[in-house]
Structure 1
Amino acid sequence: MALLTRAITVEARTCAVVYRHGVRTGVLAAGRHRRPAGSTVVPVDLRERLLAVAPQDVPTADGASVRVTAAVRWSVTDPVAFVEVADDPEAVVYLATQVALREALAAVETDRLARRGSLPLDEVVAAVRTAAVAVGVSVQDVVLKDVLLPPEIRGAATALIVARQRGAALLEEARAETAALRSLANGARLLDAHPALAQLRLVQAVPPGTRLVLAVGTEAARLVEPGTASDDD
């Protein structure tokens, strides 16, 4: 007598592991299938997922303790292992990420942690992938979201940044002042070499209506304000 069957639909980007009497009978891809009566179907989502790792305090190589948070991009590539190997495969990936972060960052000094581009994340990704593949999971990436330094170190880093900016501002001010003094010195040498330029500058600087009186036989000059009499009047 043939076993009764009924239809089952496996959604897109998922698959289904089928068991009958406790024995795995196959893995169904997306689509519509016939399922024998008495069988059990375990759906598995194959889409990429994000696993957020809670903040954890990690000791550094120089004895400080920093708080880091991370996120893992992962997806299921072996649905059978994902269903059968571990009761909670996601917890396996989570723990592997925590341990890998602690081992990798424990060899890094605190000041290097402030420069995320120099963090040994390749080692973290490799370690997490090794643990994840056993439970049917492929890890695409491990992203370090936040690195929270101790308050004392954050204060020192802020003071260092302020000192650098203040020094840069003072240096720029000194450069501007030096350039101005150099320009004045060049102007003074030019006036000493050409006295006529000094008189020209004096003429240009007098207010409108002021008469300029030159002393006879000399290059001296004096100003006569409007409305006043000169010695020659």
Structure 2
Amino acid sequence: MFKKITIQADERGLLFRKGSYAKLLQPGTYRKSRFFEDTVVMLNISKPFSVPGKDLQLFLHDDQLVEELDVVQVPDHEYVLHYEDGKFVSLLMAGSHAFWNRLKKHTFLHVDIRNPELPAEIDRAVLAKLASTYQTFDVANHESGVLFYNHVKQKELGPGKYYFWRGPTAVTVKTVDLRQQQMDLTGQEMMTEDKVTLRLNFVCQYRILNPLRALEIKSFDEQMHIQLQLILREYVGTLKLDDLLKMKQEIAAYVLSRLNEKSQEYGVQFIAAGVKDIILPGDIKDILNTVLLAEKKAQANLITRREETASARSLMNTAKLMDENQTLYRLKELEFLEKICDKIGTISFNGGGNLLEQLNSLLGDKVTGKN
């Protein structure tokens, strides 16, 4: 006639009468008549409150039951972090959740995912259990980051690791390299004032100072490259080829000065610039080589004539001194005689006369082949 039901200390019973919830049954022993359409659902209070096939709202009118439950309502725009006795257990999504409060102490941290950044009070150690619900962005030590919510700029981010909820707000972080960078202009064809077409290799170093401004410029690198092209074309077009080849350093200084006039517009600091190579057409190279060869030959002829003139002037000065100074003349005779003696074994002189004249006569005979 009766059925015995025992409810343990870590259990609770839910009495249903004709399919509808009637009341909460505390631990103990109960007798149920077989003639009544009563059923008892046994629940373990160490687990979340859940009755298969029944909505939580069907039980919340029972004050006795509600007193033993911690009920959490999670709206669509929130996540709730659930802790038991101070330890993270689970992340609760939108909906109604209930937990027995007799064995464990439950605490809940509500976060509004419309503000995607993870609160500081969330211990980063628990994030491994939330892998599918958040995303990370890294900003390196040499970078600056800019945070966007739904493509709307929010703030600038310094170096570090940042965590954001996956939710209704789309989060992006764009980074800008703050290190010194190099812009190369390679093989750029330009025309000088005298209509010579040449190719120029140019290099420029710069550093970004205003990351926000750099991100506001569409195709930042391309626009910087075009600006450098325009400045170089403007300057090279005012110079003739000969002047251009002589003024490589002046070109770099002019371009750097003009670029720094645009520094605030681009949010950068231009540090250095320089011409790497000037590549001339083949026919122009041949002409320049011919000109260079002619210039070098002319210089060589000039040096030769200068040396000959200096030698003649030296001889003239020597002759003048000898004519004015008999002692110097006598020394020259002796020097002359010494040179002759180096080549001739014996010399005989007959009669008197000037020694230098006789020696000159002797040398003259030797040169002409007379004995």
Q: What's the TM-score bracket when you normalise by the shorter of the two chains? A: 0.7 to 0.9
Match of 1:15 in 2: 144
Distance 1:78 1:198 in 2: 85
Flag the 1:163–1:37 CA change in 2: closer, same or farther, 3 A.
same
Q: How many pairs does the alignment contain?
A: 221
1:89 to 220, 227, 241: 220
1:144 to 266, 275, 294: 275
Q: TM-score, structure 2 length as denominator?
A: 0.51
Q: What displacement does 1:147 show?
A: 1.7
Which deviations, in whole Å up to 9, do the C-alpha atoms of 1:103-144 show, x marking residues without a partner?
Answer: 221122221111134745455345545556444443333322
Work out which structure has the larger RCO, using CA pairs closer than 8 Å and 6 or more positions apart in sequence.
1
1:169 to 277, 297, 300: 300
Letter in 1 for 2:313: R
Flag the 1:196–1:150 CA change in 2: closer, same or farther, 3 A.
same
Q: What displacement does 1:12 show?
A: 1.4
Is the Cα contact below 8 Å between 1:92 and 1:131 reproduced in 2?
no
Match of 1:227 in 2: none
CA RMSD in angstroms comes to 3.1
Match of 1:72 in 2: 204
Which deviations, in whole Å up to 9, do the C-alpha atoms of 1:179-227 show, x marking residues without a partner?
Answer: 333333444455666464465245312247833333333335477xxxx
Is the Cα contact below 8 Å between 1:93 and 1:128 reproduced in 2?
no
Flag the 1:212–1:81 CA change in 2: closer, same or farther, 3 A.
same
Q: Does 1:62 align with 2:194?
A: yes
2:237 to 76, 96, 106: 106
Match of 1:200 in 2: 334
Q: Does 1:24 align with 2:153?
A: yes
Distance 2:331 2:252 in 1: 70
Segment drifting more, 166-175 vs 88-97: 166-175
Segment drifting more, 211-220 vs 49-58: 211-220
Which deviations, in whole Å up to 9, do the C-alpha atoms of 1:70-89 show, x marking residues without a partner?
Answer: 12212222212222331x21
Match of 1:226 in 2: none
Flag the 1:92–1:178 CA change in 2: closer, same or farther, 3 A.
same
Letter in 1 for 2:334: L
Q: What displacement does 1:177 show?
A: 2.1
Is the Cα contact below 8 Å between 2:251 and 2:275 reproduced in 1?
no
Distance 1:109 1:174 in 2: 34
Is the Cα contact below 8 Å between 2:137 and 2:173 reproduced in 1?
no
Identify unmatched segments of 5+ residues in structure 2: 1-109, 119-123, 125-135, 363-371
Q: Secondary structure at the match of 1:104?
A: helix
Q: Secondary structure at the match of 2:351?
A: coil
Distance 2:241 2:345 in 1: 72
Flag the 1:138–1:190 CA change in 2: closer, same or farther, 3 A.
closer
